[in-house]
Structure formats: C-alpha cells, structure tokens
C-alpha cells in the first residue's frame, strides 16, 4: 500500500519557499519581521538579536564559539533555518572562510520596530458601535462549530455527493485538488490524503488547509506574499475585538469571508457598519504548529474486546469512527462502535494506515484512560498492526501467462523484451513459461507477432 503523507507546514515554511524578491517585499512590513522573529527556534532568535546591530559579516567559526560543544546540532539547525528564510546571507571571503550577514531589509525594519514600535493598519472599533460582542468562550465554540461543519461537508460530499453548506469556490478547489477526486457524472470520492486528513489533529488540519489556500492563491489573482502578509498581520490583532471591514481591500474582504467559513474570524453586521472578530485560530497563525497543538479533552475509551466507547454528541466524531470501525448504536452523548477486521481492511484500502488509527485513538483518549500506559490496550494496537501487515503481504498485479513458445530463442527474446519494459514478473526457463504485467500486453503481442514472421 502506498504511504501517502500529508505534511502540514506552518507559515514559516511557506515564507521560506517564496522567491527572494517577494521575501524582501514581505520584510518591508515591520509586523511581519516581528512575526518571523518570534516563530524562530530559540537559538536562531538569539543569533538574530546578537547580529541585529552588526553591519559586517560574521565568520562561521566566530558563531560556533557562541555555543557550547554539545550544542552544535542545535546550532546547525538554527543556521539552516535562518538561511532557508533568507534572514542570513551566506558568503565566502577571500580567506575562503564562510561568513553570515543579516538580511539588510529585515535588519533595518526590525531595528525600527524594536525602537519605535508600530501601528497596525486597523484599530479595534469603539464599544458604543459594536454592542454585545461574543465572549471568548462563545468565540471558541463558534470556531469549533465552523471547523466541524467544514469537515462534515468534506465527508458528506464523498458519501452522498451533496452539499451541506455553501463554501466558497476557493475552499472547494482545495477539496477537489487534494482531498476529493471526481470522475465524469460520478459523486466525489475521498482520496487517500482525504481519509488521512480526517484523522489528523485539528491544528494540523488547519495548517494543511491554510497552506493549500495560499499555494493556490495565484490562480485567484492574489499575490501569495500579500496573502501571507495579511494573515500574519491578523495574528497581531486581539482575540474577541471587533475590526471594521471598511479597513480591508476588496481582495482582503474575500479572504476574510473564507476565513470565516473556517472559523478563524466571526463576521457581524451592525446598523451602519460591519466588522470581523478574530478567534484564537487567527491570532495563533504566526506561532509554530507544535506550539498551537493544545490538548483538548479526549472522548474515546477502547477496551480489550475491541469495543470503542466515544463519549461525544458530535456527528463528526461518529463519522470519523465509521472510517475504521463499525458503529453499532448512538445515544445522545455516547457512540458505541467495534473495531473489526472488515472495517480495518476498508480503511487500509482507502489509504489510512494502522499507525494513524492508533495515533487517533491515543490522542483522543478519554481523561479516565489517557493517563494509563498504554492508553489503548496493547492487544488492540498489536492486532491493528497485524491486520495491516497481513493485507500488505499479498500484492495483486494484473498479469498474462505465456507458454508453448516455438523455440528457445523466441522465449529468451520475449523475456528480455518484458524485462526491458519493466513488465517481467516470473519466468521458468526449463518449461519456457512466462508471466508479464498486463500493462505491457499490447507491446508483448506486437513483439511476438513480429517474431513469428
């Protein structure tokens, strides 16, 4: 089974992939410079601040003296990260020694920002205009509800072929490109990446969607650097405060509507003005993926008899459990399921791997079992791995069998021909029998026809 992995990169990975010209444009924004700085590993931050007021290149040997001998591995990681983000420019001097220098655009703007501070393009709206803003608890609940709606739409599109909500074309393209596939006049189907996506941690899912949204921005007439800049600016806004929609450009308004579908912001309309309210999902955008992976209370209890009890009222949780188990019945606050060989085989065929299922059960373990070691019974995890290895033990390849060759020369030539095309599966020189892949059947027929002539 091919192992398809979804890598959820954070903003800094996307920043590192930008061309040099766009990066310099990005570093013209002082808030972006601060966002970049606070996203760096601790040692990389130290190097940036130490070199912030040094206007000459610093040799690699000198920088190695800044750390102890046992810190060289972290030192190398920090240097690599700074070079990836083009914060450091690497050069070789006349003595053939490697030197590093801080990106001048980044250096100047970060100096100004540290000394003078900065003002965001928009300020919170006064409370006398925005009456009854949602509480932080309400915003968290709204963000979770929007995200669940988003995932349910993904599942329902593949199982029923119908739309449960009206998501924008921008978000639908993300579905179609990586998570769903569709043939002519057939309902969409989840891809292997789509099935794996549903078992990922919520923050990892969000980063994947944001990454794809930015990656495909050029098709929508948006500059990727401008989009990254706008989203990073959002991370400096205050969670729960209201910001006037009139301060946004037309393209930013469209982006804000997409972000509202994902639960990053909440839109509200007053008598005369309209505004958006950032949730924690938006204000954490410039923080690394590992820092934002806050642990939520789990809901799953797995027993040694392969029964699964999910203490949840969420329809999404029920649908996710259906991906690899048989849901037997559902009460208002309890889902009872069973992990069976048949359901796991279906999951494996859809591209879900045993380790992903085990990881999902462990990460969502109910508090009463989460502290146990292991939180999921070993006989269950071992059996899931065994069933996956059993399924992978035999690989079915469409093939064709040939025998009764007229001469040894024809048989040897046929073997060489099949081997050259990468289609030879088996040969028996004693009985002159041959098995080749079905994909080279037409080529094989033409070859044998020519040999007979």
- Contact between 54 and 102 under an 8 Å Cβ cutoff? The reply is yes
User: What is the reported pLDDT for 221?
Assistant: 84
Domain ranges in the chain?
11-116, 136-291, 300-393, 399-452
Residue pair 177/169 in contact (Cβ under 8 Å)? The answer is no
DSSP notation for 101-145: EE-HHHHHHHHHHHHH----S--BPPTTTS-SPPPHHHHHHHHHH
Distance of CA 319 to the CA centre of its chain: 20
Average the pLDDT over 297-318 and give the result. Answer: 93
Q: How many CA atoms lie within 13 A of 136 on its CB side?
A: 5
Q: Contact, 292 vs 202, CB < 8 A?
A: no
Q: Which fold has domain 399-452?
A: Alpha-Beta Plaits (3.30.70)
pLDDT tens digits, 39-85: 888 999 999 999 999 999 999 999 989 988 888 889 998 999 899 89
CA 378 to chain centre: 29
Length, in residues, of the chain: 453
* 3-state secondary structure (DSSP) of residue 59: strand
Say which CATH class 11-116 falls into: mainly alpha
Residue whose C-alpha is closest to residue 233's, from 395, 21, 80, 28 = 28
- Terminal CA-CA length for the chain: 42
Q: For the residues of 342-368, what is the DSSP string, one character each? A: HHHHHHHHTT--HHHHHHHHHHTB-HH
Residue with token string 């003595």: 95
Per-residue pLDDT tens for 126-148? 888 887 899 999 999 999 899 88
**How many Å separate Cα 53 from the centre of its chain?**
37
Q: Say if 11-116 and 399-452 have the same CATH topology.
A: no
| Sequential DSSP letters for 263-320 | TSEEEEE-SS-EEEEE-HHHHTTTS-HHHH-PPPPP-EEE-TTSEEEE----HHHHHH
pLDDT on residue 446: 84
Distance of alpha carbon 62 from alpha carbon 388, whole angstroms: 52
Three-state DSSP state, 58: strand
User: For residue 178, is pLDDT > 80?
Assistant: no
Region 405-421: mean pLDDT is: 88
pLDDT tens digits, one per residue of 205-217: 887 888 888 888 8
Residues 105, 100: Cα–Cα separation, whole Å: 15
Q: For residue 399, which phi and psi values (nearest 5 degrees)? A: -150, 170
More confident of the two residues 265 and 228: 265
Torsion of CA 335, 341, 346, 352, to 10 degrees: 80
Environment class of residue 9 by beta-carbon count within 10 Å: exposed (0-12), middle (13-18) or buried (19+)? middle
Query: What is the DSSP code string of 368-428?
Result: HHHTSSSSS-HHHHHHHHHHHHHHHH-----EEEE---SSHHHHHHHHHHHHHTT-EEEEE
Distance CA 20, CA 89 (A): 11
Token pair 């801080």: residue: 102
Question: At residue 6, does pLDDT exceed 50?
Answer: no
Of the listed ranges 15-24, 240-249, 272-281, 345-354, the least confidently predicted one is: 15-24
pLDDT in tens, 376-393: 999 999 999 999 998 877
Query: What pLDDT is recorded for position 11?
Result: 62
| 312-324 burial code (b ≥16 CB/10 A, e <16) | beeebbebbbbbb
């Amino acid at each position: 089974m091919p192992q398809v992995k979804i890598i959820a990169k954070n903003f800094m990975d996307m920043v590192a992939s930008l061309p040099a010209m766009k990066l310099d444009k990005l570093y013209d924004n002082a808030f972006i410079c601060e966002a970049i700085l606070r996203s760096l590993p601790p040692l990389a931050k130290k190097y940036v601040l130490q070199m912030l007021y040094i206007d000459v290149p610093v040799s690699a040997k000198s920088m190695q003296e800044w750390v102890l001998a046992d810190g060289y591995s972290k030192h190398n990681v920090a240097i690599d990260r700074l070079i990836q983000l083009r914060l450091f420019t690497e050069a070789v001097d006349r003595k053939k020694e490697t030197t590093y220098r801080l990106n001048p655009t980044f250096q100047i703007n970060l100096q100004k920002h540290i000394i003078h501070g900065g003002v965001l393009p928009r300020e919170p709206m006064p409370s006398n205009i925005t009456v009854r803003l949602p509480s932080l608890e309400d915003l968290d609940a709204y963000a979770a509800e929007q995200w669940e709606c988003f995932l349910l739409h993904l599942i329902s599109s593949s199982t029923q072929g119908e739309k449960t909500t009206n998501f924008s074309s921008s978000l639908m393209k993300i579905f179609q490109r990586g998570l769903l596939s569709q043939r002519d006049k057939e309902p969409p189907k989840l891809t292997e990446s789509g099935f794996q996506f549903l078992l990922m941690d919520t923050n990892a899912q969000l980063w994947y969607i944001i990454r794809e949204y930015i990656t495909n921005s050029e098709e929508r007439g948006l500059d990727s650097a401008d989009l990254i800049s706008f989203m990073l600016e959002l991370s400096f806004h205050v969670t729960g405060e209201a910001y006037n929609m009139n301060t946004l450009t037309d393209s930013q308004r469209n982006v804000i509507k997409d972000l509202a579908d994902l639960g990053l912001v909440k839109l509200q309309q007053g008598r005369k003005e309209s505004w958006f309210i950032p949730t924690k999902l938006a204000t954490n955008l410039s923080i690394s993926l590992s820092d934002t992976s806050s642990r939520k209370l789990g809901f799953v209890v797995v027993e040694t008899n392969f029964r699964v009890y999910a203490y949840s009222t969420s329809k999404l949780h029920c649908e996710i459990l259906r991906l690899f188990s048989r849901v037997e019945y559902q009460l208002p606050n309890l889902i009872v399921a069973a992990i069976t060989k048949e359901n796991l085989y279906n999951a494996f065929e859809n591209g879900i791997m045993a380790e992903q299922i085990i990881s999902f059960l462990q990460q969502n373990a109910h508090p009463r079992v989460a502290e146990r070691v292991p939180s999921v019974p070993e006989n269950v995890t071992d059996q899931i791995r065994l069933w996956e290895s059993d399924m992978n033990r035999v690989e079915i390849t469409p093939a064709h069998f040939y025998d009764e060759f007229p001469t040894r020369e024809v048989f040897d030539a046929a073997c060489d021909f099949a081997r050259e095309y990468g289609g030879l599966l088996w040969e028996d020189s004693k009985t002159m029998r041959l098995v080749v892949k079905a994909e080279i059947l037409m080529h094989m027929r033409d070859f044998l026809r020519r040999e007979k002539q």
